[in-house]
Structure 1
Amino acid sequence: MKLSIRSTTCLFLLTLSLAATHGTAQIFNPADLKLISNEFSFTEGPAVNKKGDIYFTDQPNDKIWIYDTEGQLSVFMDKTGRSNGLYFDKKGNLISCADEKNELWSIDKNKNVTVLVTDLDGKKLNGPNDLWIDNNGGIYITDPYYQRDYWTRKKPELEKQNVYYIPAGKKKMIQLVVDDLKQPNGIVGTPDGKYLYVADIGDRKTYRYTIASEGKLTNRKLMFENGSDGMTLDNQGNIYITGNGVTVYNPEGIQIAHIPINGWTANVCFGGKNRSDLFITSTKSVYTIPTTVKGVN
């Protein structure tokens, strides 16, 4: 049967509508969103340890908090270098984008700090924001510029806002891997180490790169025209982005679900005993929602 343009358009829109409804029903019920606490100033950077506990930052108050698998909140660390994005390495160290002095930190379980990155060729980074660690222990970081009221400087020392890679065990060898984005922010890689997703929040686009040898990135592909503050993936390959609530795209870049949340939604990750609870940081609050999928490392 030959369809008219109008009929084809209607069929396409119906297909998208059904995909979104189907995706939401499969992954989560937005009505199950649970407020954990709204006692913070601005929450960011959730990261999950091997047990399923979530570590996250309250950046204006310079604290890292824990939301454990029993549902309890506690302070892990004060004076965190204004930590923003967080990620656990394979040794259990918490890697932190500490943008008070535009550094990258490694924090062990006893709260001992090792500074991994302090500058790039003698110039301060803009402010490491988010990160992902590959299977070899190499670290990708996004470096957008957001003027902080606790900085003395009033402009960046670097010309562009880029994505960098630090090879494992070579903390002083920070390498430029993406230099043509407007304002990179959210970042996450696939567990098989094949792909890296980078959100250009300044240009409202999210790209997928192929990870090549030595951490280099090739074959850039536009996934969808939407940027993101923070990102995560589930074991079905779906991509979770933040900003206006949480929006979920399938591996082909088609939107399949959305969680509306009042205020700016900064970041997201999976945690809990089964890694099936989605943990969301949103301005002064943190939330969880049960899902039918699981997070990936």
Structure 2
Amino acid sequence: MTLPTRLLCLTSSICALTFFYSCKAQDKSIIAEGAELTLVASDYKFTEGPAVDKEGNVFFTDQPNNRILKWSLDGNISVYMENAGRANGLYFDHKGNLLACADEKNELWQINSDKSITVLVDDFEGKKLNGPNDLWVDPKGGIYFTDPYYQRDYWSRTKPELEKQQVYYLAPGKSELIVVVNDLVQPNGIIGSKDGKTLYVADIGDKKTYSYTINEEGILSNKTLFTEMGSDGITLDNQGNLYLTGKGVTVFNKSGVQIAHIPIDQGWTANVTFGGKNQKTLFITALNSLYTLEMNVKGVR
């Protein structure tokens, strides 16, 4: 057993105890009894963007290495795509295509089943996007995505072309973007409710997360402060609990009350989603690693 493995075992034991105390206020813990945080792999540079397909396989990105990985139901991890457009956030559309926030050229990609690529969006009103980051597909097939600006060393530009860091909506069958949020500092994580009525957006630059009502044509209204905490990636479970990332994973119920904290022995936790056969496994990307944790709740895909 290597030193990192021994440390992980110790961390997992501590985490299990922390889970118990973090969740004891609930009638039933959201974390499966006896579950421990499991390190799946740790040979990456920076993991991001986990997304689950209809079978429960989980795809995630190793952004600095410019590739997309696939965790399969048999527990194996394989390289799904090299030269992946410096993909960050991922999400599957209703047809089974993998959507990717490909910020190498500031584009939104559709990766088809044969791994051919369709560029869905590459600008806004003739100006280069900042860098699509995270996305969510609504029940109609429309795509919401965040567009913060993070300077990349592989870009030739050194400043944004757009004045604001915004949230956009791409309606089904359309090619023109609609601005749906334009008053945040640095929008990042984004997720919507299964019924398509509520959208959550994390403003990591202002350390806040908001909820919005989704109206006809994808337009948002009723901006409401959900919690005084920002986030990188975010997700929801089938009870309506919202999972925020950064320093581990912090879980809030639908009223915005913190109900759990999952500590991760890494300097940064980037993203989170549910996967596996029954979507009861929480997948967590954190710096060079991928972790899993068995849950009592499940995802809403």
TM-score, normalisation: structure 2: 0.91
- Identity in percent: 62
Pair 252,67 (structure 1): closer, same or farther in 2 beyond 3 Å: same
Q: Is the Cα contact below 8 Å between 1:131 and 1:187 reproduced in 2?
A: yes
Q: How do 1:110-125 and structure 2 match up within 5 A?
A: 110-125=114-129
Give the drift of 1:271: 0.2
CA shift at 1:24, angstroms?
9.8
Displacement of 1:43 after TM fit?
0.3
Equivalents in 1 of 2:267, 2:24: separation in Å? 24
Equivalent positions of 1:23-172 (< 5 A) are 23=26, 26-28=29-31, 32-170=36-174, 172=175
In structure 1, what is the Cα distance between the partners aligned to 2:291 and 2:184?
Answer: 31
Q: Which residue matches 1:186?
A: 189
Deviations 1:22-47 (A, max 9, x none): 34961116961000011000000000
Tell me the residue number matched to 2:273. Answer: 269
Cα pair 1:24 1:256 within 8 Å, conserved: no
Matched with 1:12 is: none
SS in structure 1 at match of 2:161: coil
Paired with 2:269 and 2:22, the residues of 1 have a C-alpha distance of 24
Mapping 1:17-28, distance limit 5 Å = 20-23=23-26, 26-28=29-31
**Paired residue for 2:233?**
230
Q: For 2:134 and 2:119, how far apart are their aligned partners in 1?
A: 16
**Distance in 2 (alpha carbons) for counterparts of 1:124 and 1:144:** 12
Q: How many residues align?
A: 280
Give the Cα–Cα distance (whole angstroms) in 1 for the partners of residues 225 and 202 of structure 2. 10
State the one-letter code of the partner of 1:241.
L
- For the residue of structure 2 that corresponds to 1:236, the secondary structure is coil
Counterpart in the other structure of 1:9: none
Structure 1 residue aligned with 2:246: 243
Q: Secondary structure at the match of 1:75?
A: strand
Q: Alpha-carbon deviations, 1:72-102, whole Å to 9, x = none?
A: 1000000010000000001100000000000
User: What SS class does the counterpart of residue 25 from structure 2 fall into?
Assistant: helix
Look up the equivalent residue of 1:259 and give its one-letter code: I
Q: Which amino acid aligns with 2:130?
A: N
CA-to-aligned-CA distance 1:197-221 (integer Å, 9 cap, x gap):
0000000000000000100000011
Unaligned runs of 5+ in 2: 1-19
Partners of 2:90 and 2:43 lie apart in 1 by 20
Whole-angstrom distance in 2 between the partners of 1:166 and 1:242: 26
Q: CA deviation at 1:285?
A: 0.3
* Structure-2 separation of matches of 1:20 and 1:179: 36
Query: What residue in structure 2 maps to residue 290 of structure 1?
Result: 294
Q: How far apart are the structure 1 equivalents of 2:62 and 2:26?
A: 31
Cα deviation, 1:52-77, whole Å, max 9, x if unaligned, reads: 00000000000000011111100000
Checking the alignment, whether the CA contact within 8 Å between 2:189 and 2:232 is kept in structure 1 is: yes
Distance 2:35 2:261 in 1: 12
Pair 1:296–1:283, CA change in 2 (3 A):
same
Give the structure 1 partner of residue 9 of structure 2.
none
**RMSD across aligned positions (CA):** 1.5
Q: How far apart in 1 are the matches of 2:28 and 2:48?
A: 27
How far 1:252 moved relative to its partner? 0.2
| Cα shift readout 1:238-294 (whole Å, capped 9, x = no counterpart) | 000100000000000000001111221000000000100000000000000000011
Structure 2 distance, partners of 1:44, 1:178, is 23
Q: Which amino acid aligns with 2:270?
A: A
Equivalent residue for 1:10? none
The higher radius of gyration belongs to 1
Which amino acid is 1:232 matched to?
T
Asked if 2 retains the 8 angstrom alpha-carbon contact of 1:24 and 1:258, the reply is: no
| Unmatched 5+ stretches in structure 1 | 1-16
Match of 2:205 among 202, 211, 217: 202
**Partner SS state of residue 59, structure 2:** strand
Secondary structure of the residue that 2:24 maps to in structure 1? Answer: helix
Q: Distance in 2 between matches of 1:222 and 1:28?
A: 26
Q: Deviations over 1:174-231 (max 9, x none)?
A: 0100000000000000000110000000000000000001000000110100000000
